Amino acid sequence: MTGLVARLARVRREMLGINRRNHEYLFRWNRRDRWAVADDKLATKAALVAAGVPVPATLGTCAAPWELRALRTMAARADGFVAKPARGAGGGGVLVVARVDGEHLWKPSGARLGWNDVVAHAADVLAGVYSLGGREDALLVERRVVCEAAMTGLAWGGVPDVRVVVLRGVPLAAMLRLPTRRSDGRANIHLGGLGVGVDLADGRTTHAVAQGRAIAAHPDTGVALAGAVVPAWDDVVTLAVQAADAVGLGFLGVDVVVDAALGPLVLEVNVRPGLAIQLANRAGLRPRLAHVAGLARVPEDVAARVALGRTLARSG
- CB of 68 closer than 8 Å to CB of 116: no
| Amino acid residing at 99 | R
Q: How far apart are CA 285 and CA 313, in angstroms?
A: 10
| Per-residue pLDDT of the chain in tens (316 residues, 90 and over written 9) | 566 555 555 666 788 999 999 999 999 999 988 988 999 999 999 999 999 999 999 999 999 999 988 888 888 877 889 999 999 877 788 998 988 887 888 888 788 998 999 999 999 999 999 887 778 899 999 999 988 888 888 888 788 999 999 999 999 999 999 998 888 778 888 888 899 999 999 999 999 999 888 999 998 889 999 999 999 999 999 999 999 999 999 999 999 999 999 999 999 999 999 999 999 999 999 999 999 999 999 999 999 999 999 999 887 6
pLDDT of residue 109: 78
Q: How far apart are CA 169 and CA 241, in angstroms?
A: 6
- The closest of 71, 63, 149, 154 to 105, measured between CA atoms, is 71
Backbone angles phi, psi at 41, to 5 degrees: -65, -30
pLDDT of residue 217: 92
| Domains of the chain with CATH codes | 14-54+147-315 (3.30.470.20), 58-143 (no CATH)
- CB of 139 closer than 8 Å to CB of 126: yes
Cα dihedral: 92, 34, 127, 187 (round 10): -10
Q: How far apart are CA 213 and CA 225, in angstroms?
A: 14
Using alpha carbons only, how large is the chain's radius of gyration in Å?
19
DSSP the chain: -HHHHHHHHHHHHHPPPHHHIIIIIIHHHS-HHHHHHHH-HHHHHHHHHHTT---PPEEEEE-SGGGGGGHHHHHTTSSSEEEEETTB-TTTT-EEE-EEETTEEE-TTS-EEEHHHHHHHHHHHHHTSSBGGG----EEEEEPPPBPGGGGGG-SSS--EEEEEEETTEEEEEEEEE--TTTTT---GGGT-EEEEE-TTT-BEEEEEETTEE-SB-TTT--B-SS-B-TTHHHHHHHHHHHHHHHT-SEEEEEEEEETTTEEEEEEEESS--SHHHHHHTS-SHHHHHHHHT-S---SSHHHHHHHHHHHHHH-
- CB of 172 closer than 8 Å to CB of 288: yes
